[in-house]
Amino acid sequence: CDGVFTRRWVRWFAESVSRTEPELTDLDRRVGDGDFGTNLLVGLATTIRVLDRSPVTAGESRAADPLEVMAGVFLDEVGGTSGPLFGLVFQELAASARAAGPTLTGAAVEQGIGAGLAAVRRVGEAEPGDKTMVDALLPALTEVRRAGPLPAERALALAARGARRGVSETARLRARRGRAGYLGDRVTGVPDPGAVGVAVLFASAAGPVTA
């Protein structure tokens, strides 16, 4: 999986987010302030604009490059709590891809998700069960780890499955972090928007998704 693969993944992620934005916005209206869908959408639109300015030329398409562009945009420009936190996840995925060589491997996916999860937990100070994106990243990592050595596409498909499982769990959780933390029991029954965003990220490696 080279830079053509990761570029297509980022493009499909952007496509997925434009399809799911109304749902993401609605979720964040119920558990937060309603800007999560827009934050993600704007960040991805900017990422695609930057990528389109630098078309890939054969032989110099490293898997890490598009992920690094996306990381830079989210860390520097995207608002909300999720902007920088998603930026950290993208940055760790990019760093692991870079360390693996020109192509993305299943081991690099596992390593990147693990490091992304650690970074989000460090910066966001969220624990598992706090009803945040941590609750999608952790089961994603568990699923990939359990499977052992895999090609990157398979690892990402498993990460998507783990993350989706995490999303349904978040619906049963009471939030303790972020804005949803102030709303207490009112948000029980509603999945965490950031967790849904993580599931959409991994699922998009196989094509654009609706939710």
Q: Which residues bind ligand ADP (CB under 6 A)?
A: 28, 32-33, 35-36, 39, 80-82, 85, 120, 124-126, 132-134, 177-179, 192-195
Tell me if 149 sits within 8 A of 207, measured CB to CB: no
* CA–CA separation, 75 and 66 (whole Å): 14
Q: If binding is defined by CB under 5 A, does position 143 make contact with Mg ion?
A: no
Which residue, 16 or 132, has its beta carbon nearer to ligand ADP? Answer: 132
* CA–CA separation, 91 and 184 (whole Å): 32
Q: If binding is defined by CB under 5 A, does position 86 make contact with Mg ion?
A: no
Q: Count of residues binding Mg ion (CB under 5 A)?
A: 6
* CA–CA separation, 181 and 42 (whole Å): 25
Q: Which amino acid is at 159?
A: A
- Collapsing DSSP to helix, strand or coil, 80 comes out as coil
- What DSSP character marks residue 32? S
Which residue, 32 or 87, has its beta carbon nearer to ligand ADP? Answer: 32
Rounded to a whole number of angstroms, the minimum distance from the CB of residue 135 to ligand ADP is: 8
Which residue, 89 or 144, has its beta carbon nearer to ligand ADP? Answer: 89
Binding at 124: pick from ligand ADP, Mg ion, none (beta carbon under 5-8 Å per type): ligand ADP
Rounded to a whole number of angstroms, the minimum distance from the CB of residue 164 to Mg ion is: 21
Binding at 120: pick from Mg ion, ligand ADP, none (beta carbon under 5-8 Å per type): ligand ADP
Tokens of 193: 């928007």
Rounded to a whole number of angstroms, the minimum distance from the CB of residue 163 to ligand ADP is: 12
Which residue, 82 or 91, has its beta carbon nearer to ligand ADP? Answer: 82
CA of residue 80 relative to chain centroid, distance? 15
Tokens of 167: 């999303």
Rounded to a whole number of angstroms, the minimum distance from the CB of residue 33 to Mg ion is: 4
Q: If binding is defined by CB under 5 A, does position 130 make contact with Mg ion?
A: no
- What DSSP character marks residue 46? H
Binding at 139: pick from ligand ADP, Mg ion, none (beta carbon under 5-8 Å per type): none
> H-type helices in the chain, by residue range?
3-31, 36-53, 64-77, 82-100, 106-124, 134-147, 152-172, 193-203
- Chain residues 20-79 in contact with Mg ion, contact rule CB under 5 A: 28, 32-33, 35-36
Tell me if 67 sits within 8 A of 113, measured CB to CB: no
Residues in contact with Mg ion by the rule CB under 5 A: 28, 32-33, 35-36, 80
